[in-house]
Structure 1
Amino acid sequence: MLGGAVADVVVPVSLALKGEQYANELWRYKNVTGPQRHYFRTGLAAVLWRFLAAHEACVAHRCAVPGFDVVATVPSTGGREAHPLRTMVADMIGVTRKRHRDLLRATQKAGELGRTASSARYTSSPLWGEHVLLVDDTWTTGNHVQSAAAALKAAGAGSVAVVVLGRHLNIDYGDTSAHIEQARLRRFSWDVCPVRPWAHN
């Protein structure tokens, strides 16, 4: 259990609906090989870059901090050596490249924890009050990224904000379809701020 040691704000770039294009691309960027791998990774890196260039300051404002000193990613707990999200944030995206640090490590117990949130899932390098922007690709239950946020705070982070590329939703689950219909009415726009209730450039 994490208690109060969770992210100060969680901001998805977009919904990722099961069986639709965006969810498919979030799966493919990690799992395909050859030229397709570069295609999907480049596309998602461009999405994240444009989003952060437009809205990172708003996320920081929501956390009541002047900005994020460090950018980190959630590491794999499944044995993936070089996670493509880490490559995107550390090497491909201009607004995160210089601030990226490999802070988090999965513990030996991580594989046994399934999808549960646990302070035993990750450890973090020491921090001294730095504000951290934590990036993940997909939010399903949120347990992995919240476990990572808890590890950062235990290591001394100030504010921790989470940005996820896609909020995964299954339209056939519970009353999710009603939520999705409301979202479709609003439609996606780069200019609509996900944190502040107005559009801006």
Structure 2
Amino acid sequence: METQRNFLRNPLPTLPWICPTCRGVRTPGFDYCYPCQEHQTTSGGLLADVVAPIAYSPRTGQHHHHLRLYKSTPGSAQAHPHPLQDLIGDRLGLPWLTALSNPRHGSETRTFQRDWFTVQLPVESVNVRPLVLDDTWTTGSRAQSLAYALKSAGASSVAVVVLGRHIRPEHAASRPLLKAIEDPMFDPAKCAVER
């Protein structure tokens, strides 16, 4: 962990210019950034109850490189289980749910889709509260589409943990965020939710 502290950056707290959902840059005049505002509008509010990005992932940074690299190792493309599931294994002590992806929505889809995923919750379970693990959050459309499917299937709440909140350095609105995270070292004791 010590070597990653040099390039990992904690998410900023919810400031007037930071999106309270994904910790990206909020769209002026709106409560959220543009993609999160769109998710709110198109989902009817059936979204993740909490999104916890662990660190920012600027496109030109080492964290972004690592998050792309682990999926591009031989045999990991379309591998079952997903590389994250291989990494986590049974460490969480939670059952894994299977989400079936609609083939009409490929990896390049960047907008919320109500029909992106189909899930079946365990029949005998009550008060199901899934934890979604995602490697990167670019627009959040995939994670929020999955949260929508989980809630539509009966989940009482959904939490999303994201390893890297993607930031595009060429996006002018992101420059103040990149400046704000330029120097601070990653602090693993800082909670991404309670700030």
Give deviations 1:59-104, integer Å, cap 9, x for gaps: xxxxxxxxxxxxxxxxxxxx7132211222335xx2x2x2031331
Task: Answer yes or no: is 1:86 the counterpart of 2:85.
Answer: yes
Q: Is the 8 A contact 1:137 1:166 kept in 2?
A: yes
Match of 1:144 in 2: 142
Check whether the contact 2:136–2:164 (CA below 8 A) recurs between aligned residues: yes
Equivalent in the alignment of 2:51: 10
Confirm or deny: 8 A CA contact 1:119 1:151 kept in the other structure.
Answer: yes
In 2, Cα distance between the equivalents of 1:113 and 1:124? 21
2:132 to 134, 142, 152: 134
Counterpart among 161, 170, 173 of residue 172 in structure 1: 170
| Residues 1:125 and 2:124 aligned together | no
Q: Which runs of 5+ in 2 are unaligned?
A: 1-41
Deviations 1:129-172 (A, max 9, x none): 21111110000000000000000001111110110000011112
In structure 1, what residue type is equivalent to 2:149? A
Does residue 105 (structure 1) correspond to residue 100 (structure 2)? The answer is yes
Normalized per residue, which structure has more helix?
1
Q: Cα offset for 1:14?
A: 0.2
- From 181, 184, 187, the equivalent of 2:182 is 184
Residue in 2 that maps onto 1:25 = 66
Shift of 1:33: 3.4
* Whole-angstrom CA distance in 2 between matches of 1:175 and 1:81: 36
Q: d(CA) in 2 for partners of 1:20 and 1:167? A: 12
What TM-score results when the alignment is normalised by the length of structure 1?
0.68
Q: Structure 2 vs 1, CA of residues 28 and 113 (structure 1 numbering), >3 Å: closer, same or farther?
A: closer
Instruction: List aligned pairs for 1:146-161, cutoff 5 A.
Output: 146-161=144-159
Q: Please tell me whether the aligned partners of residues 89 and 100 of structure 1 are also in contact (alpha carbons under 8 angstroms).
A: no
Q: What residue is the counterpart of 2:27 in the other structure?
A: none
Counterpart of 1:133 in structure 2: which amino acid? L
Q: 1:75 matched to which residue of 2?
A: none
Kept in 2, the 8 Å contact 1:85–1:137? The answer is: yes
Paired residue type of 2:88: V
How many residues were matched structurally? 150
Answer whether contact 1:16 1:168 (CA < 8 A) is retained: yes
Distance 2:130 2:181 in 1: 29
Is 1:162 matched with 2:160?
A: yes
Unpaired segments of 5 or more residues in structure 1? 38-78
Q: Distance in 1 between matches of 2:108 and 2:73?
A: 27
Letter matched to residue 32 of structure 1: T
Contact 2:129 2:156 in 1 (8 A): yes
Distance 1:103 1:32 in 2: 23
Aligned CA distance change for structure 1 residues 112 and 23 (closer, same or farther; 3 Å): closer
Alignment partner, residue 22 of structure 2: none
> Structure 1 CA distance, aligned partners of 2:193 and 2:167?
20
Within a 5 Å distance, the mapping from 1:35-50 to structure 2 comes to none
Residue 29 to residue 167, structure 1, CA distance change in 2 (3 Å): same
